[in-house]
């Protein structure tokens, strides 16, 4: 069983693992029908594949027809998805499918809002690991559907030396040397810094990526000038729609924004049964 199926099975068990007393009371026998999921506001859609999979796992006999695809702009009143088959399956899958679609489309929509607001095309907007526990693979897919990019997926696929790592290692230089001595030369080493002295240390340690954490605009611009192309520069902390372009204007290469996932509002849609 793959990871997404595990997530869906857990969601289905949470909702109807012990039965659906309402549906089972109304529909004691199989009965065919159809349903449509309709947008109740404008948004960018994400989560179509997982929604289709919800219906398939509830009842493999259900026929699902998507009317939009991930990353597409949807207007209020548009049909997102159609499903036909046994009505009991439709009713049992409805809320879980909607939960995935609403949450993931909310992330895609917020991400697209940031992407559209960003006036510096050379700057890459990326997410963080601040995701809903268990949903990271889905939420990072939603960020991409919204036009953003992914930072590292987890602790195993990217090196990021943060303040607590430096405290444990004894110094920034020691932390970088320790990591480089035990990992592949193919992996880039990123170091989080919060002041100019740490920027200088990161340059001296030959960090591949330097993350400017919670620095003000003037300090970020000064750091970018000091780094002078010797490392990729990422900005992190206090990123919002109002600070996005002032941060980009400092000359950084990447802006990481946890709000893309942890501040996203679920969009509004519903399923209508015919």
Return residue ranges of the chain for CATH 3.90.1170.20: 3-105+265-273
205: Cβ–Cβ under 8 A, 6 or more apart, which residues?
A: 172, 173, 176, 177, 191
Q: Which of 192, 198, 234, 253 is catalytic?
A: 192
Q: Which of 127, 141, 213, 234 is catalytic?
A: 213
Q: CA 167 to CA 202: how far, in whole Å?
A: 15
The pLDDT of residue 274 is 82
- Asked about 84 being catalytic, the answer comes back as no
Q: Which of 95, 124, 144, 222 is catalytic?
A: 95
The pLDDT of residue 1 is 58
Low-confidence ranges of the chain (pLDDT < 50): none
- Residue whose pair of structure tokens reads 């010797």 in the numeric block: 230
- Asked about 213 being catalytic, the answer comes back as yes
pLDDT digits (tens, 9 = 90+) for 14-51: 999 999 999 999 999 999 999 999 999 999 999 999 99
Q: Which of 84, 129, 162, 174 is catalytic?
A: 162
- Asked about 14 being catalytic, the answer comes back as no
Q: CA 16 to CA 13: how far, in whole Å?
A: 5
- Name which CATH class applies to 3-105+265-273: alpha beta
The pLDDT of residue 108 is 98
- Asked about 188 being catalytic, the answer comes back as no
Contact 124, 248 (CB under 8 A): no
Q: Which of 67, 129, 130, 180 is catalytic?
A: 130
CA-based nearest residue to 216, from 194, 198, 234: 194
Q: Looking at domain 116-262, which of 3.20.20.110, 3.40.50.2020, 3.20.20.70, 3.10.129.10 is its CATH number?
A: 3.20.20.70
The pLDDT of residue 23 is 93
Whole-model pTM?
Answer: 0.95
- Asked about 162 being catalytic, the answer comes back as yes
Q: How far is CA 222 from CA 45, 156, 196, 263, in A?
A: 39, 32, 8, 30
The pLDDT of residue 243 is 98
The pLDDT of residue 236 is 97
Return residue ranges of the chain for CATH 3.20.20.70: 116-262
């Amino acid at each position: 069983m793959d990871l997404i199926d595990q997530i869906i099975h857990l969601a289905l068990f949470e909702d109807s693992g012990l039965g659906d007393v309402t549906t089972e009371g109304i529909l004691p026998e199989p009965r065919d029908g159809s349903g449509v999921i309709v947008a109740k506001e404008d948004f960018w859609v994400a989560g179509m594949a997982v929604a289709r999979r919800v219906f398939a796992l509830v009842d493999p006999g259900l026929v699902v027809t998507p009317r939009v695809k991930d990353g597409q702009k949807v207007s209020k009143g548009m049909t997102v998805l159609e499903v036909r088959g046994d009505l009991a399956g439709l009713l049992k899958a409805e809320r879980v499918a909607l939960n995935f679609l609403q949450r993931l489309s909310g992330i895609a929509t917020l991400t697209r809002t940031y992407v559209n607001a960003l006036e510096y095309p050379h700057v890459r907007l990326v997410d963080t690991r601040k995701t809903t526990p268990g949903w990271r693979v889905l939420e990072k897919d939603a960020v991409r559907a919204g036009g953003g990019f992914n930072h590292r997926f987890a602790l195993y696929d990217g090196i990021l030396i943060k303040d607590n790592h430096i405290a444990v290692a004894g110094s920034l230089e020691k932390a970088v040397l320790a990591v480089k001595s035990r990992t592949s030369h193919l992996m880039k080493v990123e170091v989080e810094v919060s002041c100019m002295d740490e920027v200088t240390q990161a340059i001296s340690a030959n960090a591949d990526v330097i993350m400017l954490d919670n620095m003000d605009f003037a300090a970020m611009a000064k750091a970018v000038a000091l780094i002078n192309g010797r490392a990729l520069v990422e900005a992190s902390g206090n990123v919002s729609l109002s600070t996005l372009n002032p941060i980009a204007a400092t000359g950084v290469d990447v802006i990481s924004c946890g709000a893309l996932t942890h501040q996203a509002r679920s969009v509004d849609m519903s399923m209508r049964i015919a």
